[in-house]
Homo-oligomer: A and B are copies of this chain.
Amino acid sequence: MVKPIQALARGLTVVNAINNAAGPVSLADLHRVTGIDRATLLRILTTLGQEGWVYRGMGDRLYRLTYKLHELGGQVQIRDAMAQVAAPVLERLQQQLHWPCDISVFDGDSMAIIETSRSRSPFVLNREVIDYRPSMLKSAIGRAYLAYCDDRLRTTILRRLSEQGGEEGRLAKDSVYIERMLSEVRERGYGVRDPSIKSLPSDTEEEFRAIALPILVKGEVQACLSFVWMKSAYPDPDIDQVFYAKLRPGAEELAQLFEQHQLY
């Protein structure tokens, strides 16, 4: 196990303390709050100052966080934040269900998988899942997204798909196919992968099934929670119902978390 660095941890504690305080703080304030010796505090603050993290007002000589932190936080992508918030939930679901789950968002013209519990799964399927873009019309996540997204957005997506050739383009124009597929998803509450495709490049030997649930924040799909398993492991043809029942609370929890953190 890796032993953490106390000196660093203390420094971060001080940054937090300054941040949590109502306003600018004095050294004595920080001493009271953190319990760290004044001499040590002074050295920590000097270091933070040199690195441009805290700043000392000339007038009152009190410590404040610098504008640098604005710039730091600004770089963090909403997508990263979603992945971070979702990770513990994914892990829990994975432990319950023994198969990996993914979180994906719509990005431009297709779904992007932003986080997965696959690396912790005893069944390693594919390590490069992240950023793999599955079919919008046949994958479970694509279907789930389309079924719950805004009408205007769906129209736009389908138009773009139909402009590009191939089977994807052909299906996008087939309004009967689309409508039936969408209403099936809405009726069930989750998207199911078209059995004819193998959503991941590695799905060569075994047959996999997948379902995906929309994560609805304030009535809008912000992401999809998907789940994959090996068909041969379960004889029951209605096994997806069982998985759905267990995944649904997870999807709702994720929706709440996203709402809390304003990730939409």
Give A contacts to B, CB under 8 Å: 2-5, 7-13, 15, 19, 24, 42-44, 46-48, 50-51, 53, 55, 57-61, 64-67, 69-76, 80-81, 83-85, 87, 90-91, 113, 115-120, 127, 129-130, 261
The answer to whether B83 touches A57 (Cβ under 8 A) is: yes
Residues of chain B lying within 8 A (CB to CB) of residue A4: 43, 46-47, 50
If over half of A's interface residues share one DSSP class (helix, strand or loop), that class is named, otherwise mixed; here it is helix
Most chain B Cβ neighbours within 10 Å, of A3, A53, A60: A60
- Chain multiplicity (copies): 2
Most chain B Cβ neighbours within 10 Å, of A75, A117, A118: A75
Known contacts A5-B43, A42-B2; A64 and B80 CB within 8 A of each other: yes
Most chain B Cβ neighbours within 10 Å, of A43, A44, A58: A58
In the A-B complex, list the 6 residue pairs whose CB atoms are closest, starting with the nearest: A73-B73, A7-B7, A8-B11, A70-B73, A69-B73, A4-B47
Known: A8-B44, A9-B47, A67-B261. 10 other contacts (CB 8 A): A5-B11, A5-B44, A5-B47, A9-B51, A13-B51, A57-B115, A57-B130, A59-B116, A70-B74, A72-B72
Q: For the complex, what is the distance from the CA of A187 to the CA of B91, rounded to whole Å? A: 68
Residues of chain B lying within 8 A (CB to CB) of residue A115: 57-59
Q: A70's contact among B55, B59, B81, by CB below 8 Å, is which? A: B81
Q: For the complex, what is the distance from the CA of A70 to the CA of B74, rounded to whole Å? A: 7
Q: For the complex, what is the distance from the CA of A9 to the CA of B7, rounded to whole Å? A: 10
